[in-house]
Structure 1
Amino acid sequence: MVQCFLPWQAVGGLTREFSVGRRTPEDRAKLAETLSRAARRLGPLLPHYKDHFINAFLAGVRDPEWLVRAASLSALGDVCKELRFSLGPIVQEVFSVLNLAVVQDSSVEVRRAAVLVVTMLLQGLGGDALKVLREVLRELYRGLRRLEATDADPVVRLHAQLALQEVDAIMRRFLLPSAGLTKRIYVMDAPPPAL
């Protein structure tokens, strides 16, 4: 007999199983991937369950095992991408956690994943990043600069450079908005329209 679960039952059960931490780090990493796939399959229902996913992954980022932290960051990036980066009021908390992982985590894999998620979120937010990240953008920028200059891992330095390029592009769009040029064409037989 096949048992059918409703979305709230499946999401609640999986996030609880991931957050409890009674499993091995490898199993919890697989659960993070499963949650990421579940988020993709939920499609338009995902915003209703976003708190379950994001809270579970933010808790996973604080786990003592590097494998769980890296898997949580990767899954967090996937869920944010599926949400089209509309995280709501918790976006600053997400960036604060990412900034801590970027600057303070001892594991290379975790720093790689954190910087990649930062880059994805900055790309997704685009011009809205300045409004959304007003309080954390300066600290994030400094952490990325420090990481680019001093990290021993070349992949982390490359990811930090890509994230800094996104910040620079956002600042350029803010400081130097493109002036839209419009051309008006008038027919010679008719009088020009009143403006």
Structure 2
Amino acid sequence: MTTIFHNTDSYIFTGTCRAVSGIVAAVTSFLADRDCYICALEQFDDESTEKFFMRAVFRRQENAPSIDILAEEFSSISKTFGMEWNFHCPETPIKTIILVSKYDHCLDDLLYRKRKGEINMEVTAVVSNHPDLCSMVEREGIRFIHLPVTVETKAQQEQRLLEIIDETQSELIVLARYMQILSDELTKKLAGRCINIHHSFLPGFKGAKPYH
């Protein structure tokens, strides 16, 4: 029996691919064979898109190879399943862009939780279609970018947003009461790395068009 060494050398695996048999077995066997202990495992099969999603938290044990070697060796498995995947160290802050409009309560809560250490993120920029929250953001030492959006400028500003995401190498985009509907094109480009937060117990305070 293998002894479980409880250390802080933990990583998070995330992967998604077409739903087929054998994915869980392949990933878990890969980690176990390399002396990695899986301490949490979740998977989800989206039947509407026939896509499979998996997340595992694992610890490298005494005889485990480095994370770089693990990543190099895992590439052969990912090719077998056509998988998009990543090994992420949970101690590394996630580079995040926050989108806001005029109201500050969602943004304020995120920044408060960041200061308290409850959310491990690096806010690379706050982008807004209004200038109202500029002073609040800059007091935190965070870059504020004003991208006013009209019907005529929407496509141009969304392209500029993509450029900012690339420039800052941001991994996550959070809509914190951003009062704009993203275009289908932008939504597709941000698939899997964009979330919308809503500080409410739905259906209360659901807004004018919650399903628009």
Normalising TM by the smaller chain, what interval? under 0.3
User: Considering only CA atoms, is the larger Rg found in Structure 1 or Structure 2?
Assistant: 1
Instruction: Calculate the TM-score normalised by the size of structure 2.
Output: 0.24
Greater share of strand? 2
Greater share of helix? 1
